[in-house]
Every structure is written in C-alpha cells, then in structure tokens.
Amino acid sequence: MDIHEYQAKDLLAGFGVPIQRGAVAYTPDQAVYCATELGGWHWAVKAQIHSGARGKAGGIKLCETYHDVHEAATSLFGKHLVTTQTGPEGKVVERVYVEVAEKFDREIYLGIVLDRKAERVRVIASAQGGMDIEDIVHTNPEAVHQIVVEPAVGLQPFQAREIAFGLGLSIKQVSRAVSTIMGAYRAFRDLDATMVEINPLVVTTDDRVIALDAKISFDDNGLFRHPHVAEMRDAAQEDPREAEAAQFGLNYVGLDGDIGCIINGAGLAMATMDTIKYAGGEPANFLDVGGGASPERVAAAFRLVLSDQNVSAVLVNIFAGINRCDWVAEGVVQAARGLRVPLVVRLAGTNVEEGRRIINESGLPIIAAESLLEAAQKAVEASKAHRARLAGNHR
C-alpha cells in the first residue's frame, strides 16, 4: 500500500524526522487559507498523487503570494498528472499539500528498501539527490552509498554516521543527518514498510537537515498491526480492480497480456503465467483466489478478470487442497454463463471428479484440460482464434 506525501511526512515526524510546516487542502480557497495559517513568504503547492517524479511533470509549484497559491492550486485540482511512474493515463489530483518553502544549499537522496534478493534491509544514499536521481544511479554510481542492515541488530548509529560522512556533510550536519537516518529506519521497521524514500533530503543554509519530500510503501500483510496506517489508504489512487479484489480477499495485479488467469496459490499462479508465456501467450493478470475459493469468490474473480477489455481468453487453473474442485466448478459455471471469451479450465485435487462432472454437465462451451501445459496451450490457441474472429467481424 502507498500513501500520500503529507501522510508519509506525518508518520516520519513521529519518529523524529524533521519536516517543513505544511497542511493539506482540497480546494483552491482552502489552499490559500493554509498558506495564511502557515505564515512565511514563500510556499510550495504540491499535487498529492501516488507517484514520484511530480516535479518534472509540473505537479509542484513555488509561490510568492496568496494569489499565486490560489492559481497554482486551481491549475492542479482535477488535473490528470502524468509522470514517468503513472503511465500515460496519469492520476487525478484531488488534494494538494501547501508547505512553507525556504532556501537550501544541498539536495540529498535517502532510501531504505527491502532487498528481497539479499533478504535484508538496504539503506541507500546519494550526495546528489533531487529530480535526477534515477539518471545519477546510472551515470555516476560511485556517488551512491549503500549499507546492508544485519537483521539481528538493526541499523546502528555508526552505520548512519558512515553514510552521513560519505555524503560530505559537516560535523554539525552529520549529527542531524544521523538522527534523520535512524528515525527513517525506525519508521521502516516499526510500520512494516517495504520502502521509505526521502528525496530530496535538504540541508538548509543554517545547517538543518529536512525531509522536503517523502514516500512510504507498506507490506499489505502487516497492515492489521497498524490500523492508523491502513486508514490512510486512498482507493481513488489505486487500480480499481485491485481495490475490489482486496474487498473479496483476492490478490490481483493487472498486466499487459490478453489471457486472464484465475488460480489458487501464488506459486501456482506464477508457474501458470510462465507456462502461458512458454506456450506463446501473454498473461493479462496475476490473480490468486486463495485457499477458500467459494463460488462467490470465483464469480468475483471472473468479474475482475473480464473488466480488462484486453482479455480474449480466460484460464482457470485450480489445484484443490484446502479448496474443493466442486466449489470452484460451481463458481465457474455461474460466472461462465454469457461469457464473451473462450474459457479453459483445469482442475486437480480434492473432489476433482465431482468438479469435472459439474463442468461437463453445465452445457457451456468450456474447454477442459488435464495438465497445466495443455491448459496453457489451449488458452493461447483459443485467444488467437477469438481475436481472429473479432478481426473478421470488423472487416
């Protein structure tokens, strides 16, 4: 789960990370009111969407008057902000963050991420932060400092000091940077985050170290421990299919292919997607219906898969252990009535014979398969045939 910048800053501030004074606004007039309440002479009006690279996309505007604040907020509200991370469709701006702006001497990058390959937390920092950090990683990799955290002891202050000195900070700045790095790490650890990114972390003219921007992503599986974080979810910023999937306890991720997948178990889902590619096709999604695939959940899974207009065939692959094949078959039959695309079903495991009987006696044009490879091959063939029929009808 991702959250907005202002929410991330509020959480980080609770762990001792210094931030600028700011307030969230939902209308241009409210943005002006926020600026008057914050005081100062300069403000930054920032679009709040779940994406980085907002500055390059025109989502951050510096203002010197209240009129500028109103104009900036007016130009952002309702805008489809397209960044390098949103895709061409962009994301709609429904709120802005008004923040006191002041001069700073340096921009630093600080990131704390879960390195799945190393099975460790990795702290990454660069003396060259800001909007071009992605380019710097490739053009000047020696400017990037990294430390892998030993999970038994966590990030140690001496490691944070090593990073701070590596960034070329002064003695006074180092002590403040260490406090910020340790605070960001504690937030990462205690909130079950998968990423904490502060870009830029700025050094002001009076040697303060301030998080000027912040981004946090959380492990959904740990949200039950942090209800105050779960409440920050903004469903409007998420793929509506993924939000609907979460309501039914389904794990769904949309992809770019044309073969919809309904599978139980993450490992089997990954194997099925690989097999589809091996057979010459492209999966349209990852969808794990989980261990208790009732007919209602299977029907919900079909609705999610078919909401993708690119889907030209659906592959159901169920290996029933906790599940029962007859339950799944009932859900498949319910959802398959009036289906506009070919459907391939492969069932194995508990009550498989009963499940196959339900499928065979349904009277529906369901394509049965015995093995995973056979199912993938039949799905690819059915998809190609369906697309060919559509192309012929359009001539």
Residues at the binding site for Mg(2+) are: 199, 213
3 state DSSP class of 125: strand
Active-site hit among 6, 109, 185, 252: 109
Rounded Cα–Cα distance for residues 71 and 350 (Å): 63
First to last CA, the chain: 45
Rounded Cα–Cα distance for residues 233 and 279 (Å): 38
Q: Which residues are annotated as a binding site?
A: 46, 99, 102, 107, 199, 213, 264
Backbone angle region of 271, left / alpha / beta, with phi > 0 → left and psi within -120 to 50 → alpha:
alpha
> Is the torsion defined by CA of 53, 55, 57, 59 positive or negative?
positive
In the block, which residue shows the tokens 């959802």?
335
In the block, which residue shows the tokens 């592959």?
315
**Two tokens at 97?**
């963050």
Is 197 in the active site?
A: yes
Cis peptide before 28 (omega within 30 of 0): no
Strands (E) across the chain are located at 22-25, 43-47, 60-63, 80-81, 91-92, 96-100, 104-115, 120-126, 144-149, 193-204, 209-211, 215-218, 251-254, 259-263, 285-288, 313-320, 343-349, 366-368
Active-site hit among 5, 97, 197, 252: 197
Other C-beta atoms lying within 10 Å of the C-beta of residue 207:
15
**Two tokens at 105?**
């001497």
CA distances from 224 to 82, 196, 228, 229, 236 (A): 32, 19, 10, 9, 21
Q: Give residue 202's identity as a one-letter amino acid code.
A: V
Q: Which residues are annotated as a binding site for ATP?
A: 46, 99, 102, 107
In the block, which residue shows the tokens 């499940």?
355
SS (H, E, C) 316-363: EEEEECCCCHHHHHHHHHHHHCCCCCCEEEEEEECCHHHHHHHHHCCC
Is 109 in the active site?
A: yes
Q: Which residues are annotated as a binding site for substrate?
A: 264
- Running DSSP on this structure, what letter comes out for residue 236? G
Q: Give residue 223's identity as a one-letter amino acid code.
A: L
Which residues does the annotation mark as catalytic?
109, 197
